[in-house]
């Protein structure tokens, strides 16, 4: 289905980029919005919004089963996104890409299928102190059910994994390592390649939580050699409600099915049901067609601009923001890893993070406050939560200046 999409700048000019994101023109509390909550969800370019509108206005139809024109067009667009995701993370085969609602569903899919089949009493699963709840709770549920053991990689005060401790945790009992690629609370980039190599040496599989990394880093699942990789479309400028789980083909083939229903079957009788081929085996029911189609526009947008160019811009912002914030008295940055991207988490002496968040919102600045779904990590640092400013391709130094001024003003009001 041909659609006119918004063209984007061939070179990186943040002011041109900003024009592609209509929400950035809005005002909050009579001030131009400064959106620094990108780690929670990024804003959407006009092309993504147009793709949703165009689908519903022109070729809304259920996919795969229909033989009419609209169904064929919708199916082709839906499957085109699968190919784009495959290229975006450099998977070998498109059937290794399973559409999900997002990272959470991807991790749960692995826990409920591969986990239920392969985890037994006494087995061990390794995660880290800095995991998002969605990479803790599914494994806790599984371990409880199977009488397996959850082991935790500790971190240092900078927010880096203690790799020696990790190596000591590994043993033939380890069946899975499930690790966040980029921490949503600290910005730490974990050495996933080394983690995967070590895990494979003891015969364990590795799931990488790519919720935060997919938008900032070049993802190459073949080079990484991870067994599973999960991410969410809405953090990569795509719509909410769609993401993908990558799994190595030979592992996905062997895994039991997840949800039962239409599309995931080959043949159903009351006596026996046989299951569909990959990837449909894991995609029961009518999927999120519109959002999946629009996800392609988001990923193409990023690819056309160039992830390295976007990353350079975001790294400049991170460096600048870190430098400016270090000058604020009483402000402590949580997460100072050597290898870090995209966000600054901080606390201010004697002030609750939420109070800062409210006062920043009053100045039109959107940041996130709280535990960021990483409560064990907050406990590790002995804090209730942080204020987190997270950057995207469309943020500017002027916005960082407004943040810094906003924090100073808030501190004055609260002291």
Ligand X SMILES: Cc1ncc(COP(=O)(O)O)c(C=O)c1O
Using CB under 6 A as the criterion, which residues of the chain lie in contact with ligand X when the complex forms? 102-104, 132, 134-135, 180, 184, 209, 211-212, 232
Confirm if 113 and 354 have CB atoms less than 8 A apart. no
The DSSP element (H or E) to which 307 belongs, if any, is helix 307-326
CB of 12 to ligand X, least distance (A): 25
For the question of residue 226 being annotated catalytic, the response is no
Shortest distance (Å) from residue 136 CB to ligand X: 10
Q: Which residue of the set 52, 373, 378, 383 is catalytic? A: 373
Are 250 and 101 within 8 A, CB to CB? no
Looking at the chain, the number of H-run helices and the number of E-run strands are 15, 17
User: Which DSSP letter does residue 188 get?
Assistant: B
**Peptide linkage before 351 cis (omega within 30 of 0):** no
Closer to ligand X by Cβ: residue 186 or 331 = 186
Q: Specify whether the CB–CB gap between 159 and 186 falls below 8 A.
A: yes
Least distance to ligand X, CB of residue 101, Å: 7
Smallest gap from Cβ 135 to ligand X, in A, equals: 6
Closer of 102 and 364 to ligand X (Cβ)? 102
**CB of 309 closer than 8 Å to CB of 12:** yes
> Closest CB to ligand X among 212 and 342?
212
Q: Give 134 or 410: the residue with its C-beta nearer to ligand X.
A: 134
Q: Distance between CA 159 and CA 153 in Å, rounded?
A: 12
Considering the complex, what minimum distance in angstroms separates the CB of residue 288 from ligand X?
13
Structure-block tokens of residue 120 = 């037994």
CB nearer to ligand X: pick between 89 and 211: 211
Q: Which residues contact 53 (CB under 8 A, 6 or more apart)?
A: none
| Selection from 290, 286, 287, 306 nearest residue 3 by Cα | 290
Catalytic center residues: 373
């Amino acid at each position: 289905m041909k659609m006119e999409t918004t063209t984007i700048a061939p070179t990186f000019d943040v002011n041109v980029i900003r024009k592609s994101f209509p929400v950035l023109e809005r005002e909050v509390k009579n001030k131009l919005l400064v959106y620094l909550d990108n780690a929670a969800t990024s804003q959407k370019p006009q092309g993504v919004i147009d793709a949703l509108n165009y689908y519903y206005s022109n070729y809304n139809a259920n996919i795969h089963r229909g033989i009419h024109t609209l169904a064929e067009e919708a199916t082709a667009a839906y499957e085109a996104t699968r190919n784009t995701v495959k290229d975006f993370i450099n998977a070998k085969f498109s059937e290794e890409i399973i559409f999900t609602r997002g990272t959470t569903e991807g991790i749960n899919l692995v826990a409920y299928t591969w986990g239920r089949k392969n985890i037994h009493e006494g087995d061990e699963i390794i995660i880290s102190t800095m995991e998002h709840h969605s990479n803790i709770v599914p494994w806790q549920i599984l371990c409880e059910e199977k009488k397996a053991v959850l082991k935790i990689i500790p971190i240092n005060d900078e927010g880096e994994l203690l790799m020696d401790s990790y190596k000591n945790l590994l043993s033939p009992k380890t069946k899975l390592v499930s690790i966040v690629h980029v921490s949503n609370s600290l910005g730490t980039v974990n050495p996933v390649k080394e983690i995967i190599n070590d895990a494979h040496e003891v015969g364990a599989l590795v799931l990488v939580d790519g919720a935060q990394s997919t938008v900032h880093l070049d993802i190459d699942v073949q080079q990484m050699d991870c067994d599973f990789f999960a991410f969410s479309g809405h953090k990569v400028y795509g719509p909410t409600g769609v993401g993908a789980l990558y799994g190595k083909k030979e592992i996905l083939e062997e895994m039991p099915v997840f949800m039962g229903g239409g599309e995931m079957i080959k043949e159903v009788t009351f006596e026996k049901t046989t299951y569909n081929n990959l990837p449909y085996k894991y995609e029961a029911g009518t999927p999120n067609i519109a959002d999946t189609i629009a996800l392609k526009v988001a990923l193409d947008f990023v690819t056309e601009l160039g992830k390295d160019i976007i990353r350079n811009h975001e790294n400049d912002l991170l460096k600048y923001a870190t430098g400016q914030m270090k000058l604020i008295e009483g402000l402590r940055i949580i997460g100072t890893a050597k290898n870090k991207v995209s966000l600054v988490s901080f606390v201010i002496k004697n002030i609750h993070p939420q109070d800062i968040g409210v006062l920043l919102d009053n100045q039109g600045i959107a940041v996130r406050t709280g535990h960021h779904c990483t409560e064990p990590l907050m406990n590790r640092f002995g804090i209730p939560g942080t204020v987190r400013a997270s950057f995207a391709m469309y943020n500017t130094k002027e916005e960082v200046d407004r943040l810094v001024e906003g924090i100073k003003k808030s501190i004055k009001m609260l002291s």
